[in-house]
Amino acid sequence: MFPLIGIFGTSIYIYFYGVVWYEPILLLVFWFISGMGITMGYHRLFSHKSYQTNTFLEWVLMIFGSLALENTVLKWSSDHRKHHSFSETEDDPYSIVKGFWHAHIGWVLKNTTEEKSRIVGVKDLEKKSAIIFQNKYYYHIAIIGGVLIPLLIGLMYGRPLGAVLWGSFLRITLVHHATFLINSLCHYKGKRTYDSSSTSRDSWFISLFTFGEGYHNYHHKFPSDFRNGISWFAFDPSKWIISILSFFRITSHLRKTKDHLIFKSKFETLHTTLIEKLNNSNEMYQNLYKDKVSVLSNSANDILLSWQKIDINVNSISSYIDKKHLKEYRSEIKKIFKDLHNISRKLNKRGLVTNTI
Ligand SMILES: [Zn+2]
Ligand SMILES: [Zn+2]
């Protein structure tokens, strides 16, 4: 119903009454607020506890998240924690194994009344005041914040229907499908840099309209990291806002995966893929590259082992020598990755006997 009114209702309204600049702005502002409520609040704070904050921000994020109409924090987190713990099995509510449509929206449409009320594994959240309040007044918050406020804004500039269509119906449709794309497309297309055994993928493109949630392969590998896009240029506004708030001590205990573990998972994924490729190459290429891959892999393992020894707590490392070593390890491992990637590219071009990879 929402998408029908959101897309067709708004289109018909535009056809007859045009657009005033308030309306797309209203959509963007409410999209940002409700989207951040889901990513910063429902997902990274409540479901994964990837950082801590004060009760006030918990309330703000609970209210913002409610405006997205994606159910209560408890139900959302219960489903999401199952998605991580039981990925690609029967117990994964939005398992991609059951097909793209099921992972995208089918699981919502097929939900039985019994399933809708099934909430497990979220005892740690139940005592939070924001969540107790939301459980009592979820629809009140969603309707007042998500529909009545846009309506009041619309009344102020004389186009209440336009405001509700843009700020509520179309906006909720977009927020829903952006979230759903993470469950479907981010388990279907994209790179698997950190874990090749998972169906989850990294997609910078989906991050652009999901506040940074598109780096899903990384997120499945390290779900308690407060970042999803780890490089400085990765579009992850949720990460940026959480970091900025930590300067003002509004957020704290930001959980970050240690660098050597990130490089380790990257290396293991690259190595597994390369070995598979080598096994599928002709004998000449196997002879040419097998020893080289083995030497590079041994060096990578040695570096990662030494890195692990000094990376116990990067933040407290003050010694000049340790910092110098970290810098060296980082540049050496990057060089090895470059060489391994080059071999991988050469095998792609000429060496593969079969096209199975
Ligand atoms: Zn996922
Ligand atoms: Zn997650």
User: Could you report the per-residue pLDDT of 251-276, keeping only the tens digit for each?
Assistant: 999 999 999 999 999 999 999 989 98
Sign for the pseudo-dihedral over CA of 105, 212, 243, 312: positive
DSSP state letter for 54: -
For the chain, what is the domain count? 2
**Separation of CA 132 and ligand 2 centre (Å):** 22
| Ligand 2 centroid – CA 295 distance (Å) | 36
Beta bridge partners of 252: 52
Question: How far is it, in rounded angstroms, from Cα 88 to Cα 326?
Answer: 37
CA distance 34 to 28: 10
Residue 353 — pLDDT band, cuts 50, 70, 90? low
Spatial separation of the C-alpha atoms in residues 263 and 284, rounded to whole Å: 30
What is the C-alpha to C-alpha distance for residues 42 and 49, in angstroms, rounded to an integer?
Answer: 10
Beta bridge partner(s), residue 52:
252
For the segment 279-286, the average pLDDT, to the nearest whole number, is 83
Residues 248 and 263 in one domain: no
What whole-number distance in Å separates Cα of residue 193 and Cα of residue 136? 42
Q: Does one domain contain both 216 and 273?
A: no
Answer yes or no: do 20 and 122 share one domain: yes
How many residues are recorded in the chain?
Answer: 357
Residues 102, 27, single domain; the answer is: yes
Q: 42 CA distance to ligand 1 centroid (A)?
A: 15
Measured from the alpha carbon of residue 103, the closest ligand is: 1
CB atoms inside a 10 Å sphere around CB 339: 15
Question: Same domain, yes or no, for 209 and 300?
Answer: no
CA 178 – ligand 2 centroid, Å: 15
**Structural domain for 334, as ranges:** 259-351
Q: Is residue 356 part of a domain?
A: no
Gap from CA of 222 to ligand 1 centroid (Å) = 12
| Domain boundary residue, one of 198, 221, 252 | 252
Q: Which of 201, 226, 252 is the last residue of a domain?
A: 252
Same structural domain, 114 and 228: yes
Phi-psi domain of 152 (left: phi exceeds 0; alpha: psi -120 through 50; beta: other)? alpha
Separation of 357 CA from ligand 1 center, angstroms?
23
Distance 100 CA to ligand 1 centre (A): 12
Q: Which ranges of the chain does DSSP label H, i.e. alpha helix?
A: 2-4, 10-17, 22-36, 55-66, 73-85, 100-101, 107-110, 113-116, 129-143, 149-156, 160-164, 171-183, 204-207, 216-221, 237-247, 259-279, 283-310, 320-346
Q: Residue 314: pLDDT band by 50, 70, 90 thresholds?
A: low
pLDDT for 114: 74
Beta-ladder partners of 215: 202
Q: What's the predicted TM-score (pTM) here?
A: 0.89
Ligand nearest to the CA of 214: 1
Average pLDDT, the chain: 90
CA distance 215 to 229: 6
Task: Clarify whether residues 344 and 291 are in a common domain.
Answer: yes
Q: If pLDDT is split at 50, 70 and 90, which confidence band does 313 have?
A: low
Q: What pLDDT was estimated at residue 164? A: 95
Report the separation in Å between the CA atom of 75 and the middle of ligand 1, taken as the mean of its atom positions. Answer: 16
Q: Are residues 120 and 144 in the same domain?
A: yes
In percent, how much of the chain has pLDDT > 70?
Answer: 95
For 283-314, letters b (16+ CB in 10 Å) and e give eebbebbeeebeebbeebeebbeebeebbeee
Distance 273 CA to ligand 1 centre (A): 22
Ligand nearest to the CA of 181: 1
pLDDT band at 297, cuts 50/70/90? very high
Structure tokens at 357: 């990879």
User: Is 80 exceeded by the pLDDT of residue 234?
Assistant: yes
Query: Quick check: 328 pLDDT over 60?
Result: yes
Residue 8 CB-density burial (10 A; 0-12 exposed, 13-18 middle, 19+ buried):
exposed
Q: At a CB cut-off of 8 Å and minimum separation 6, what does 1 contact? A: none
**What confidence tier does 357 reach under pLDDT thresholds 50, 70, 90?**
very low
Rounded to the nearest whole angstrom, what is the distance from the C-alpha of residue 83 to the centroid of ligand 1?
A: 6
Examine the domain organization and report whether 17 and 44 are in the same domain: yes
Question: Across residues 164-187, what is the average pLDDT?
Answer: 94
Residue 354 scores a pLDDT above 60: no
